[in-house]
Structure 1
Amino acid sequence: MTNPTPSALEPKGSPAQAAAGASPASLPGAAPGATAPPGEDVDPSTLLDEPLQRAWYRRPVVWSGALLLVLAAGGIWYWQAKKAANAAPSYSTQTVARGNLTLTVTANGTIQPTRTISIGSELSGTVLKVNVDVNDSIKKGQVLVVLDTSKLKDQILRSKATLSAASSKVEQTQATVSEAAASLARFEEVAQLSGGKVPSKAELDTARATLKRARADASSAQAGVRDAQAALSTDQTNLSKASISAPADDVVLTRTVDPGNAVAASLQAVTLFTVAEDLAKLRLWVYVDEADVGSVKVAQNATFTVSAYPTRNFPARITRVGFGSTITDNVVTYLTYLDVANTDLSLRPGMTATASIIASQRTDVLLVPNTALRFTPTESAADVVAKGGVMSSLTPRMPRTNTRKSAASEASTAGAKQVWVLPEGDQAEPKAVAVTPGISDGHMTEITGGDLVVGMRVITDQKIAAAK
């Protein structure tokens, strides 16, 4: 007797039969893709005992991954914030204040005496004696050089002899005139007494002609005397020129003659000394560039330095600004004269000097450093991070224009510039302020208009720390 199998006892269509005929993959709780080997029966109780699958959001691995993503995002945010803090720019500022400003024009030149005289000789000869040397003070009329006068004295003697001969000839001609006049008078008297019969007309004409010749000879002799007198005077003048004297109270700057030297003045006067007027008053010759000459005026004050006294400033005053130009290596300059007081005689002619001419002065004006006018801020790494956040720093973006540059454009007006000011506060951003600059001394600039006021902090430099 055979026992019926469970499947046979189950009515058809019962759950047991359905379970028995179902594949393991179709049963609840069965592992996905699980299939029974062909030809093998699967125990339904085994399949029913397997645990059911959980929903995806209830799985621990999902929450673990989400936590890791949050931690990673926080780490990136912290790194970016630290990078931004390290890359934040720092600004060098200077507080706007009022003060005085002096505009100067710099020019180079040399110191010269107010007047120099070249003393020479008009005569040729041999130098017999030299009485002064360089740096000597001389007085007007003082004899400086004496030439050998022996030839000049001989010439004077010859001139005197010529004058004496001319004077004697005058006397002779005068005697001849007297004789001719007396002879003519006798002829005329006889002619009157004889009624014109004697002497003859020819004899009277001859007597008259003789008198005229005698008088002409007398005039010529007198002219000879005057010529001899002039020659004697010239020789005497030359003798006086053999002793060369000072024309004024001066100081000897150079000397080019010594006793025994031969002086040849046949073509032009030979310079023996160069003397200068009182060295207590000198003149500074400077050459002002064409770009600065419009600011230079007569009576402006100036100071200058020389290499001999580099730490001392000497005062000067402009007395003349030349109209004629001097062109050197395509540079156009104008000669300008400045009077200099040299009471202690510390300055010497020929010294090279650098002058600072006070062209303009301003008192109690608004001043900013020139670096502030040249400064334009740049966009820092901190700005980039602050604008885009974490995700934007990791993703590419289209290039953007510099908003600070636009602000500068808006702040500037026609004929004006701008400076950047830093408001109070740790997180303050630079702000452009329009200004109208005036004169500048090369370091500070006068502000004549705009929105800048005393107390504002103008930015002169920007430093961005390297990101770490």
Structure 2
Amino acid sequence: MLKVPEGEPRPGTRDVRAALGLDETGRSAGHRLRRFVPWAVAILAIAGGAGAYLFWGGGGERVVYTTEPVHRGALTVKVSATGSVQPTNQVDVSSELSGTVRSVNVDYNSPVRAGDVLAELDTDKLAATVENNRAKLKVAEASVAEAAATVAEKQAMLARAKSLSDRQVTSRQEYESAKAAADRAEAALESARAQIDVARAELTISEANLAKAKIVSPIGGVVLTRSVDPGATVAASLQAPVLFTIAEDLKEMELQVDVDEADVGQLAVGQKATFTVDAYPERTFPADIRTIRYAPETVQGVVTYKAVLNVDNADLLLRPGMTATADIVVEEVPDALLVPNAALRYAPPQTADQGSSRTFLQRLMPMPSFRAPARPDSTTGSERTVWVLRDGAPAAVPVSVGATDGRETEITKGALEPAERVIVDSANQG
């Protein structure tokens, strides 16, 4: 306990706090200092960063441009399509008759001429049918002869009956009976003659069936497929079965390709093309368009049109059914001023100088780079803008574009010269 000498006044509470270095709330000056230090450090850090930012130029980013040269050259516009190589004329050979195959005279790849016998069915039943119908014809012919004799007899009897009736030797009734008999004889003769026609028709049919037992080639060419063997049974009930496939002269073939509906408007008969097949990937084969079919083909919502191209296969390298990829030339520009298509899609980004008007705090905050929306590829006759570097900065050059092959586009009008470089891309660095 603090003792106060006698005769001295007792100190008050304020005096005691002052002697101990305490403020009115009981906190020391050291405690206030400790609270101030973190704020001082933060302020110094911000001030240092701002000074560095101002000293080193504000921390702006540098734009690096990628350019490619403008040049003159030949431009070839092509339409690509896939399809298959096929014979110009291909025939499926069937049998109209049912029966057992007696012999097969050809095999795969066999050369044949029109009329050659490819196979033959068993003819025993067919030959018997022919003989039976021949006999029926003879019977019908005999019936006609018999009916003709009967007619002659009845006509004679009618003449006698008429003579006797006229002289009233016999009654009128006897004459009429003789006349009816003669009429019946005439009708029997006509019926017999009709039976001859029936017999002849049946004989003709049976002889035709016998001839059809020999399956012959309708055209000259090469046997592509054979689907029958000796001893096999052929059933030609509702649909004639295909026994052989014959391809006419394989030295002249055709390429059938499916052209997208977006490209078919560029095609025309006579246009040149080249194509490749997997069997000879390093070789290209020439072709030209013979016809473009109007009938659409739709597969899973995709519409295509069939184009048929003439193919010379004199060396017989190409085989029916080979898959081919064709490039059809739809336009050629022998001397065009060309720019990359990427240059037509390019638009310059926003540069660092464009942010110089921002406030101090805004300049301290990072700003994401900005690029104007890309533009679509050029189309023939459209007006476009390309960008070139002039004095280190992008400069817009209005141009008119022509044909394009998907990689480069023809410039038909504009202040561009060969070897001048156009901007195709840019990136921020810094």
Do both proteins adopt the same fold according to a TM-score greater than 0.5, normalized to the shorter chain?
yes
Residues in 1 aligned to 2:66 and 2:237: alpha-carbon distance in whole angstroms? 76
CA displacement at 1:398 relative to structure 2: 11
CA displacement at 1:464 relative to structure 2: 4.6
CA displacement at 1:132 relative to structure 2: 0.3
Map Cα deviations across residues 159-205 of structure 1 (whole Å, 9 max, x no partner).
1111111111111111101111111122223344x2xx122111111
Q: Specify which of 182, 191, 203 is matched with residue 211 of structure 1.
A: 182
Match of 1:446 in 2: 410
Is residue 174 of structure 1 aligned with residue 145 of structure 2?
Answer: no
Map Cα deviations across residues 235-273 of structure 1 (whole Å, 9 max, x no partner).
111111111111110211111100000111122222111
Q: Specify which of 81, 91, 112 is matched with residue 138 of structure 1.
A: 112
Residues in 2 aligned to 1:171 and 1:238: alpha-carbon distance in whole angstroms? 30
Residues in 2 aligned to 1:403 and 1:283: alpha-carbon distance in whole angstroms? 54
Amino acid at match of 1:417: R
Match of 1:429 in 2: 393
Is residue 95 of structure 1 aligned with residue 59 of structure 2?
Answer: no
Determine if contact 2:112/2:217 at 8 Å carries over to the other structure. yes
Match of 1:371 in 2: 342
C-alpha change, 1:329 and 1:267, in structure 2 (3 Å) is closer
Determine if contact 1:174/1:218 at 8 Å carries over to the other structure. yes
Match of 2:133 in 1: 159
Match of 1:458 in 2: 422
Determine if contact 2:219/2:246 at 8 Å carries over to the other structure. no
Is residue 419 of structure 1 aligned with residue 386 of structure 2?
Answer: yes
Determine if contact 2:349/2:370 at 8 Å carries over to the other structure. no
Which SS does the other structure have where 2:393 is aligned? coil
Q: Specify which of 317, 321, 326 is matched with residue 292 of structure 2.
A: 321
Determine if contact 1:422/1:456 at 8 Å carries over to the other structure. no
Q: How many residues align?
A: 375
TM-score (norm. length: structure 2): 0.79
Q: After superposition, where does 1:399-418 map in structure 2 within 5 Å?
A: 415-418=382-385
Residues in 2 aligned to 1:308 and 1:282: alpha-carbon distance in whole angstroms? 17
Match of 1:112 in 2: 86
Unaligned runs of 5+ in 2: 1-49, 376-380
Q: After superposition, where does 1:25-44 map in structure 2 within 5 Å?
A: none
Q: Specify which of 269, 275, 281 is matched with residue 310 of structure 1.
A: 281
CA displacement at 1:443 relative to structure 2: 0.8
C-alpha change, 1:431 and 1:182, in structure 2 (3 Å) is same
Match of 2:27 in 1: none
**Identical-residue share of aligned pairs (%):** 45
Q: After superposition, where does 1:258-407 map in structure 2 within 5 Å?
A: 258-379=229-350, 396-397=362-363
CA displacement at 1:220 relative to structure 2: 1.0
Residues in 1 aligned to 2:419 and 2:104: alpha-carbon distance in whole angstroms? 73
CA displacement at 1:346 relative to structure 2: 1.2
Residues in 1 aligned to 2:299 and 2:198: alpha-carbon distance in whole angstroms? 55
Q: After superposition, where does 1:3-152 map in structure 2 within 5 Å?
A: 79-80=56-57, 88-152=62-126
C-alpha change, 1:181 and 1:345, in structure 2 (3 Å) is same
Q: Write 1 or 2 for the structure with the bigger share of strand.
A: 2
Unaligned runs of 5+ in 1: 1-72, 409-413
Which protein is bigger by CA-based radius of gyration?
A: 1
Residues in 1 aligned to 2:238 and 2:297: alpha-carbon distance in whole angstroms? 32
Residues in 1 aligned to 2:323 and 2:297: alpha-carbon distance in whole angstroms? 18
Determine if contact 1:322/1:335 at 8 Å carries over to the other structure. yes
C-alpha change, 1:226 and 1:79, in structure 2 (3 Å) is same
Map Cα deviations across residues 306-364 of structure 1 (whole Å, 9 max, x no partner).
11112211111112212222221111111221121111111111111111111111121
Which SS does the other structure have where 2:125 is aligned? helix
C-alpha change, 1:76 and 1:398, in structure 2 (3 Å) is closer
Determine if contact 2:399/2:413 at 8 Å carries over to the other structure. yes
TM-score (norm. length: structure 1): 0.73
CA displacement at 1:126 relative to structure 2: 0.5
Residues in 2 aligned to 1:348 and 1:201: alpha-carbon distance in whole angstroms? 89
Residues in 2 aligned to 1:353 and 1:419: alpha-carbon distance in whole angstroms? 38
Which SS does the other structure have where 1:430 is aligned? strand
Residues in 1 aligned to 2:53 and 2:200: alpha-carbon distance in whole angstroms? 121
CA displacement at 1:451 relative to structure 2: 2.5
